[in-house]
Amino acid sequence: MTAVYLDYNATAPVRPEAKAAVVRALEIGGNPSSVHAAGRAARSLIEAARAQVAALIAVIPGSITFTSGGTESNALAIDSAVAAGCDRILLGATEHGAVSENVRAAGVPVEVWPVDAEGVADLAWLAQALKAGGKPLVCLMLANNETGVIQPVAEASALVREAGGWLHVDAVQAAGKIAIDFNALGADTMALAAHKIGGPFGVGALAAGPRATLSRRLHGGGQERGRRAGAENLTGIAGFGAAADAARRDLVAIAAQSLWRDALQNRVEAAGAVILGKGAPRLAQTLGFAVAGFDAQMQVMGMDLAGVMISAGPACSSGKMKPSDVVAAMGRPDLAPGAIRISGGWGSSEADWVAAGDAWLELFARHAARRKEVA
């Protein structure tokens, strides 16, 4: 049995280009802060990667600060906003835990910004909330990791800027799947992670615009233009840059996966599944759906036994599974325990998506038969 991997929203397999870049970096053997030849070679590699990552979201390279991953990038942005005077936070109801947990640890009042039944942030609510004054930090992800729903970031930015606030965008899930223009979106800060686009684990980036002043969380050195202390992760950064280049090249191919996604969507919907965010703009390679009474953990395990790897909700909790907060925020707590996600990426094929549909429909048929027997 050949395994099918459709869990790219959890992590993408490392791209060949990224592996090759990591190996080249390992061979340099210098500290990027050293002034000798090996150090200069390492520094050159980091700056080349910075330009590659910057190009992925259309910013100048100097806007990019390398971090240990998306979580640190989100934390750095949130802490910096509070240090810069943001005295209240408006938190999107479907944000990833890397944002919501850092927001709740920031020490300022937090208001949860609701979404509609499709999972799209309510801009009318935001406009009203911004009238309360103060200097707000507004957190809105670009694309949801569980449903693929794309948020109206540019529209939110216009409201936030008019109110004198700071807009932080978690683009970890969106990068490499849709074209991103940091300036056109109007973000003040934006978080990225290498492993979501086929780079190595343990490296990410935070982009900061001219309205944002970063306050470093790690002290001890002047690396990353004084924004983050500690010797840079040379190999990880090299792999990140190569993956960013490849992801930008593959944007059209990723967009084409919507055809495969929609074909699977039609199959599971016909069987009785509810498609999450169906009426909203979504990432082309993400399909979230649920069946009331069909436990998500059992679905993931059953699919794995059938040779298809998928997820239930976010895959960032050390293997723990719990009902989806995202689906509950969309007004369907009844579906939350049964929500799963299928997500493709750079190495996916149409045959993978068909195999996932075959496996899930067989699994669901057995589930329905058991329920009928019990009834």
Contact 204, 68 (CB under 8 A): yes
Task: Return the structure tokens found at 237.
Answer: 């950064």
User: What count of other Cβ atoms lies within 10 Å of the Cβ of residue 252?
Assistant: 8
The question of whether 139 is a catalytic residue gets the answer no
* Strand spans (E) along the chain: 4-5, 64-67, 88-92, 110-113, 136-139, 166-170, 189-193, 204-208, 274-275, 286-290, 308-309, 339-343
Contact 154, 46 (CB under 8 A): no
Contact 213, 80 (CB under 8 A): yes
Contact 203, 65 (CB under 8 A): no
Task: Return the structure tokens found at 22.
Answer: 């990591």
- Give the residue from 244, 265, 73 showing the smallest Cα distance to 169: 73
DSSP 268-290: HHHHTPEETTTTS-B-TTEEEEE
Out of 58, 309, 316, 354, pick the active-site residue: 316
> 3-state DSSP call for residue 178?
strand
Burial (Cβ within 10 Å: 0-12, 13-18, ≥19) of residue 288: buried
**Strand 166-170 versus strand 136-139 pairing type:** parallel
Fill in the amino acid letter for 337: P
Task: Return the structure tokens found at 284.
Answer: 């082309």
Question: Where are the alpha helices (H) located in 196-349, listed in sequence order?
Answer: 234-249, 251-255, 258-271, 296-305, 325-329
- Cα 121 from Cα 125, distance rounded (Å): 9
H/E element, 37: helix 37-56
Q: Which residues have a catalytic role annotated? A: 316
